Amino acid sequence: MEEGNDDSHGWNLTESDPGVFTELLKTLGVPLIVDDLYSLDPESLAALQPLHALIFLFKWISTSGDGPSATSGGEYDRDFPGFFAHQVVNNACATLAVLNALGNIPSLTTGPQLAELNSFTTGMDPQTRGMVITSADWLREAHNSLTPPNAISLDGLGLPKSSEDAYHFVVYLPIMGSLYELDGLKQFPVRHGSYETSGEGWVKKARETIERRIATYP
């Protein structure tokens, strides 16, 4: 990424490391941890229960059209009543994925700054909410304090000047009895349908959805 020729607005590159995410959660006053998943088999997922969300990292490819892509499936929920923010600057998508997840976990303990931010953005449309979030100096500083020099570049999302591969974070989690995909680059949250409350619950639905998506990639 060339200095002065990007759309990062002061947000540094992000490393895909569970320790980085866990440190961010600590900064936000959230008593949760993030762990790597090397398999989506039921045994691996069961060992990590209770699971609140799955963060999916993938190579970002520009798509045309105004709806969920063929790779992700699902359908837009244009009347989504939960927390959803757009990604309005490059390099912020890891933190944004975390915030989109945290904003939809019921009765979650958070620090005062995050609680104030969530309260202040209540009722905002996703674009405005994303702008408010990424303009929060304290959040950008927390994000930047955890990013090492050699991190995953998200510079160039949608920008023809970049020839490097771009990677992107999205989150899958249960909301109001359905599995949702929250992607800050999509116009609306994507609803993947209801899930059975017995057995593995939402995790089974998430595994099937993510595996279908992975199968579409080369």
Three-point CA angle 3, 144, 19, nearest 5°: 130
22, 105 Cβ separation under 8 angstroms: no
Catalytic residue (one of 86, 93, 143, 192): 93
Q: What is the pLDDT of residue 141?
A: 92
CA distance linking residue 122 with residue 111, whole number of Å? 17
Angstrom distance (rounded) from CA 82 to CA 143: 23
- Between CA 213 and CA 218 the distance in angstroms is 11
- Catalytic: 9? no
What letter would DSSP give residue 161? T
* Collapsed DSSP state (helix, strand, coil) of residue 14: strand
Task: Give 210: exposed, middle or buried? Use CB within 10 Å, 0-12, 13-18, 19+.
Answer: buried
Active-site residue, selected from the candidate residues 86, 143, 168, 192: 168
Residue 216, C-beta contacts closer than 8 angstroms, at least 6 positions apart: 70, 71
Contact partners, residue 199, CB within 8 Å, separation at least 6? none
Q: pLDDT tens track of the chain, all 218 residues?
A: 233 345 667 898 777 788 888 999 999 999 999 998 888 899 988 888 899 999 998 877 766 555 665 556 799 999 999 999 999 988 888 899 999 999 999 999 999 999 999 999 999 999 999 999 999 999 999 999 876 655 444 444 443 434 456 778 999 999 999 999 999 999 999 999 999 998 899 999 999 999 998 888 77
Q: What is the pLDDT of residue 71?
A: 57
Q: Which residues have CB under 8 Å from 169's CB, separation 6+?
A: 14, 16, 55, 56, 57, 93, 94, 96, 97
> What's the pLDDT at 81?
93
Spacing of C-alpha 36 from chain mean position: 15
Q: Is 37 left (phi over 0), alpha (psi -120 to 50) or beta?
A: beta
